[in-house]
Amino acid sequence: AQSVTQPDIHITVSEGASLELRCNYSYGATPYLFWYVQSPGQGLQLLLKYFSGDTLVQGIKGFEAEFKRSQSSFNLRKPSVHWSDAAEYFCAVGAREGANNLFFGTGTRLTVIP
C-alpha cells in the first residue's frame, strides 16, 4: 500500500533563507509524486509533479523538487523563501495504474519570519 511521510510537522525559516521540505514515500513501483500547498482556509494548489523523465522538476513560485528513487524521497526546495510562502505543504503519491486517488502526507507547516 502507498504511504507518504513528511517528518517535519512545522518548520520556521527567515525570509530570504533557503528551504527544504522532506517527503518519503512507500510504494511498490515508481509512483506519481506531487507537492501541493494550502493557505489557511483554502483548497490545495499544485506546486509541481513528477511523472517520469528528469528527476529534478520545476514548479510554480520558484519551487523545485528532486525525485530520488534510491531514497524513496521527493524533497521540495526553494532557494530563497518569501513571506508569502507561509502555508502548509503536502506531499502526495498516486498510483500509476488502477485507482486514481492520492495518498497524502500529514503536511508541513511553514512559518516565515522577517
Partner 1 sequence: KAGVTQTPRYLIKTRGQQVTLSCSPISGHRSVSWYQQTPGQGLQFLFEYFSETQRNKGNFPGRFSGRQFSNSRSEMNVSTLELGDSALYLCASSIDGSQETQYFGPGTRLLVL
Q: How far is the CB of 80 from partner 1 (least distance, A)?
A: 26
Write out the E strands in 1-114: 3-5, 10-14, 19-21, 24-26, 32-38, 44-50, 56-58, 64-68, 73-78, 87-94, 102-104, 108-113
Q: Which is nearer to partner 1, 11 or 44 (CB)?
A: 44
Which residue ranges make up the site for partner 1 (CB under 8 A)?
32, 34, 36, 41-46, 49, 90, 92, 94-97, 99-107
Q: How far is the CB of 90 from partner 1 (least distance, A)?
A: 7
For residue 84, the tally of other CB atoms under 10 A from its CB is: 10
Q: Which is nearer to partner 1, 33 or 81 (CB)?
A: 33
Q: Which is nearer to partner 1, 42 or 71 (CB)?
A: 42
Q: How far is the CB of 95 from partner 1 (least distance, A)?
A: 7
Residue partners of 8: CB distance under 8 A and separation at least 6: 21, 22, 108
The single-letter code of the amino acid at 4 is: V
Q: How far is the CB of 27 from partner 1 (least distance, A)?
A: 13
Q: Which is nearer to partner 1, 11 or 95 (CB)?
A: 95
